[in-house]
């Protein structure tokens, strides 16, 4: 995917069903990202987008495994 966008090492999500500019999640808001594997690209990208667009929001990730890409992408820390 990075090669398709000419951005090796950094891939931006494209073709979301929801326009990122219409995201209105305020500080204190909550979002939940679900992925069985914890590595589903659209879910990881959406969680990253929400985290970036709404820094005061609280994100939670659920998957079938610990320490996944999804959990790391929204800053969940298992050591706490």
pLDDT in tens, 45-60: 888 888 888 888 888 8
Q: How confident is the model at residue 5 (pLDDT cuts 50, 70, 90)?
A: very low
Q: How far is C-alpha 44 from the chain's CA centre?
A: 4
Lowest-confidence pick of 8-22, 37-51, 60-74: 8-22
Q: How confident is the model at residue 35 (pLDDT cuts 50, 70, 90)?
A: very high
CB contact at 8 A, 39 and 70: yes
**How far apart are the C-alpha atoms of 70 and 8, rounded to whole Å?**
20
In this prediction, residues 5-30 reach a mean pLDDT of 66
Given this model, what pLDDT does residue 80 score? 57
């Amino acid at each position: 995917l990075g090669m398709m966008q000419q951005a090796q090492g950094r891939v931006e999500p494209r073709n979301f069903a929801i326009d990122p500019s219409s995201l209105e999640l305020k500080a204190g808001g909550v979002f939940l990202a679900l992925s069985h594997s914890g590595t589903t690209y659209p879910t990881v990208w959406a969680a990253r987008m929400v985290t970036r667009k709404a820094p005061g929001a609280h994100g939670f990730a659920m998957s079938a495994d610990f320490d996944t890409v999804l959990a790391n992408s929204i800053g969940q820390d298992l050591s706490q």
